[in-house]
Chains A and B, each alone.
Chain A
Amino acid sequence: MDIAALKTLLLNGSPDFWPQLTALTRRAGDFEELFQLSTWRKKALARKLCPPARPAPPLRLAILGGYSLYPLHELLEHLCAIQGTPAELWLGDYDNYVAEIMADDSELYAFAPQVVLLLPAENRCKYSGHLTDLRSAQQAEATHTAEAVLDLARQVNARTGAEIILTNFMLPARHDLGAYRSRTLGSDWAFRQWVNLELGLNAPACMRICDVAFLASRIGGLKAADARGWYETKQPGSPALLFEIAREAANLIASLKRAPKKVLVLDLDNTLWGGVVADDGLEGIELGDTSPRGEAFKAFQKYIASLKQRGVLLAVCSKNDLARAMEPFEKHPEMVLRLPDIVSFKANWEPKSENIRRMAPELNLGLDSFVFVDDNPAEIDIVRQFVPEVTTILLGPDPAEYVAQLQDCRLFEPDNITAEDGERTSHYRAEAGRKALEATVTDMDSYLESLEMEGTLSEFTGVDAPRLSQLINKSNQFNLTTRRRSEAEVLAVMNDPNFIGFSARLKDRFGDHGLISIVIGEKKGDTLKIDTWLMSCRVLKRQVEEIMLNELVRLAKLRGCQRLEGVYLPTSKNEMVRDFYVRMGFVVTAELENGREFELPLATIQPVQTKIKITRQAYGPN
């Protein structure tokens, strides 16, 4: 199928038009293709060729900046629709963004955007003095320029609660000034780099940087610039750059409410080392700095180790004899990855699809958080067919390119790296120690007692916001309502006096679990409605449920509530909490088409006794 064939489907009014449009959009490689596809989509809608119903309500997206936003917005609107985050757009006028943000009666605010893409004008990112001025003066002006942009973005966020996607500044690609350009902050080249760094380092959590400087350097500065496009229609750059900006902005929009992948499942032979360990032996495999290929495989392992550092869990899935497969991890001096780095090691002769399927319950994670990497197309195909939830990466023919393939896969990009990410592997390994202990103590009570658990309850705080949003967006199983919230939305809850939002951290003698449970309630008259109740599955059956209920009851009573109201909204993944409210003593009040409602009168409720020592309460003087 190509674009010409798609046009025929459109002319014939065929319902196949939409899936083909989606497939072609995902493959589109340049501005021309993408723009043509967006045009066909608009024409299909105009001809009342209806797309398959989308459950998601459109996202209110405002685009404003120092450029003409046409046709950038066409590309972005198209990509949003295709990726399942359809957007309703509001467009600012050319270079009117300062007024649009400052004016109280601005149409921007009447539109009430949820996401704002702000493209500040490049021609105002320029040092006003002389190239030979004191560096301190040039630096002060660069800092001030970045601050002014951030101030505008902060204002929009403060007035609307919207997430802000802020573009930074493309660097000039001309030889102007020669070698002197990098020796003064007064050159556009150096000044914009300084401003870009200030933007990135100082932007608060509610902002994402759409890194135009990076995108332009990736495609080449000369290809990204377009003087004619500026003079004729005030374009931010060439069509090639518009294509990159639109794709990046769409990706950022998708990532606001999408968790990154959590597990990387690795093949062994010809993936982590060259050759086949069972045939070539420990000494025969290619790995390490003695040959170029060996060096490439070692570099791949180093990159994988850096992913682990960022919080990605590593697993192995290999068609191999277990002992032979483990040998390099134990004995090969050039191995970067060792057995303690691997949370699940499957080496056997069963289909890889089955092995991966078994890992999910072991790690308490959904299959859709797995990524599988293999150099063998047949293995990739089996996994694609039998566990389609898993994302697969087929490694190319040259191990020199393996690192780049993973670096460009866009599956493990953190919004913010929280300190807890790096500790995740040790959590999962400590869990193994706990399971061993569980087997040695006779009853649950004495087991829980022996864990010496400590719980810390805290109202939502700005410092916790990245972790809160991360947990809210990735918890699937123990999650009563599966309502997702960005960081900005978490902060909005925190600042709204009608909402109660608190979290729990849990420690025990094997380690710190970090922030693992969240409850959000909204006070409506004398009722506290539970908007969100979720928990990380690694602390199931530890009485965290009970301490959260105790705290919720305490806070609700303090606010004069007579009852709690909860709702269970089923998804394909949260069956485990179907009866949660009943277990916690709630009574069913209504059966809904898509769920069930519960109530708990507070008058006679007493706190449940637990084995968790509470070291801090939420909203208290503490």
Chain B
Amino acid sequence: MVQTEVIAQLQTIFDSVFLDPVVLTPAISAKDVPEWDSLTHISLMVAVEKAFGVRFRVGEVENTKNVGEFADLIIKRKQQL
């Protein structure tokens, strides 16, 4: 899986969780999206772990700076299942 594929799949998850449409790019992050608050963040993480079949390790989601890095983390976790 490459970053663009992961972001495409993330897009469908974001579409179901966010009310206002967000177009994902590697550079976008929570501070760019008003609706991306701590509440939506919880929904996103639960949905992402389920959809990709991964479990993030303690503290590592917090360390990703944008959607690109987050997608890379998903790829890394999928490879190391």
- Name A's B-contacting residues (CB within 8 A): 3-4, 7, 10-11, 31-32, 35-36, 39, 42-43, 70-71, 74, 227-228, 231-232, 239
Contacts and interface: CB of A to CB of B under 8 A. Distances in A.
Contact of B46 (A32, A42, A228): A32
A600 to B, nearest CB: 56
Given A39-B39, A228-B58, 17 more contacts: A3-B16, A4-B16, A7-B16, A7-B19, A11-B19, A32-B43, A35-B43, A36-B17, A39-B17, A39-B40, A39-B43, A70-B38, A71-B39, A74-B39, A227-B58, A232-B58, A232-B62
B46 A43 contact: no
11 contacts: A10-B19, A35-B43, A35-B46, A39-B17, A39-B39, A39-B43, A70-B38, A71-B39, A228-B57, A232-B58, A232-B59
**What's the dominant secondary structure at chain B's contact region?**
helix
Contacts of A227: 58
A231 B19 contact: no
Nearest to A228: B58
Contacts of B47: 32
A35 B19 contact: no
Nearest to A36: B43
Contact of B50 (A32, A42, A71): A32
B19 to A, nearest CB: 6
A35 B58 contact: no
Nearest to B35: A43
**What's the dominant secondary structure at chain A's contact region?**
helix
Nearest to B50: A32
Minimum-distance CB pairs A-B, first 5? A228-B58, A32-B46, A231-B58, A71-B42, A43-B19
Contacts of B39: 39, 42, 71, 74
Nearest to B40: A39
Nearest to A10: B19
A103 to B, nearest CB: 28
Nearest to A71: B42
Contact of A31 (B46, B57, B58, B62): B46
A7 B57 CA distance: 31
Chain A CB within 10 Å, residue with most, of B17, B46, B50, B59: B46
Contacts of B58: 227-228, 231-232
A227 B62 CA distance: 16
A30 to B, nearest CB: 9
Contacts of B57: 228
A35 B42 CA distance: 9
Interface string B53-72: 00011110010000000000
B12 to A, nearest CB: 11
Contacts of B62: 232
A11 B40 CA distance: 17
Nearest to A43: B19
B60 to A, nearest CB: 10
Nearest to A227: B58
A273 to B, nearest CB: 45
A281 to B, nearest CB: 55
A43 B35 CA distance: 10
Contacts of B40: 39
Contacts of A10: 19
A227 B47 CA distance: 19
Nearest to B19: A43
A4 B17 CA distance: 9
Interface in B5-50: 16-17, 19, 38-40, 42-43, 46-47, 50
A315 B61 CA distance: 58
A231 B46 contact: no
A231 B16 CA distance: 28
Contacts of A11: 19
B44 to A, nearest CB: 11
A227 B39 CA distance: 20
Contacts of B16: 3-4, 7
A4 B18 CA distance: 11
Nearest to B16: A4
A620 B62 CA distance: 68
A284 to B, nearest CB: 52
Contacts of A36: 17, 43
